Chain A
């Protein structure tokens, strides 16, 4: 659909607008929300965030014009902003603060000037995704659903039409493989 057609759809009835928006951009919005809310949100929280994003898109339909940019950019911008807001709310709600003296406390994030560590993190992330993709489906799908989207083993099993035990077994094997791939990569690099 063209951006002009999307502009018309946004101004149509809520049912029609939501139907088309979720069908075409549901995956993208969900992925954005899952990426921002990683580590602090359950599946229900992510879905609530996604529905809030689409409601805001519908209410902001008068602000969208094809002349200002394409519909995907418009939706992505709103999605990122709402997801970050949801992250802040959920962080307060679930008390995700930690004491720095706690030995189990995660390491502090890199300082803005710590470009070297940030670059290393980016490289590691890239290698991880490369390793995940190299597993092939369905193992890569299991890893992404489990560790990126935060789905449960049962959820994954129903989507992939596998048993939960099979999903668990594949997940375990996949993790070990990824770790060895990453380890080999560090040795070589």
Chain B
């Protein structure tokens, strides 16, 4: 062991020995002590405040006066923008002229029209709720007929009387507008509807060739052109029945086989090629699709 290693073993003294060594061999000169005191003060000043200084009171902050006016003006502007914007949007949403129901054409119709002719072409004016009848070419093509006959029931608010009007099928191409309020009246055939204050309900009875499915059973249907009735048969067995149908307020009443039998049903149109019938008696839901193959014989 060399001298250095030997003398490095001087450390590791007990507490009483340390105190004795500090007295016997004082390590700090006056200069060392001053330096240590200054270091202590610097460390204390950084965190505790300079030499025991205390802080009290608050500094009063003077806010510029124009801040208040600017803030008030900004708040008023934001409120005004919000109110005007709400009013503008509300007006746009409630304006019926903003909706576009007329003059839409479709390329396909629900019913095949090969067996009957078109006698009238009706174009409806939404604004005045009246119908303008124009002549239309007779055609036996399938392109332009509506797939239903609409029956509208009007309830007047001034009296308890109700009137009803019937409409003919037309060559009108607008078949996607399934709107209960679309009255489609013809000037010659119907009594004038009550004014706009009446409530109208429309039942649309299908016409033409359709096929349906309920609980896995398929049926083929033919609804007569005049909306009076039709016939059906099951695809599986070929057996079926004829029926008549009446429109009543918001539903249809089918009479299968005889007039004594009545089956209440609600018809819901999805588009020109599909609708559904909810049979009240059986509480069942039957989906109908257009049958271009006309699988039921006329």
Interface residues of A (CB under 8 A from B): 12-15, 18-19, 22-23, 26-28, 30-32, 34-35, 38-39, 47-48, 50-52, 54-55, 58-59, 76, 121, 124-125, 128-129, 132-133, 140-141, 143-145, 147-149, 159, 175-176, 178-179, 182
Contact = CB atoms under 8 A, between A and B. Distances in A.
B153 to A, nearest CB: 93
A6 to B, nearest CB: 16
* Contact residues on B (Cβ < 8 Å of other chain), bracket: 35 or more
Given A125-B13, A128-B9, A179-B6, A148 B21 contact: yes
Nearest to B30: A23
B33 A22 contact: yes
Given A38-B11, A55-B44, A128-B10, 16 more contacts: A13-B51, A14-B40, A14-B41, A15-B52, A22-B33, A26-B28, A28-B22, A31-B18, A31-B19, A31-B22, A35-B12, A47-B39, A143-B7, A147-B4, A147-B8, A182-B6
Contacts of B28: 22, 26-27, 30
B9 A124 contact: yes
Contacts of A55: 40, 43-44
A95 B167 CA distance: 101
Most chain B C-beta atoms within 10 Å of own C-beta, residue among A31, A47, A121, A148: A31
B25 interface: yes
A112 to B, nearest CB: 15
A149 B27 contact: yes
A179 B7 CA distance: 9
B236 interface: no
19 contacts: A26-B28, A26-B33, A27-B22, A27-B26, A27-B27, A32-B22, A35-B11, A35-B13, A38-B12, A47-B32, A48-B39, A51-B39, A51-B40, A54-B36, A76-B15, A128-B6, A145-B25, A175-B7, A178-B7
B35 interface: yes
Contacts of B37: 15, 18-19, 22
A11 B7 CA distance: 41
Contacts of A31: 18-19, 21-22, 27
Contacts of A13: 51-52
B48 interface: yes
A50 B28 CA distance: 11
Most chain B C-beta atoms within 10 Å of own C-beta, residue among A51, A125, A149, A176: A51
Given A38-B11, A175-B3, A58 B22 contact: no
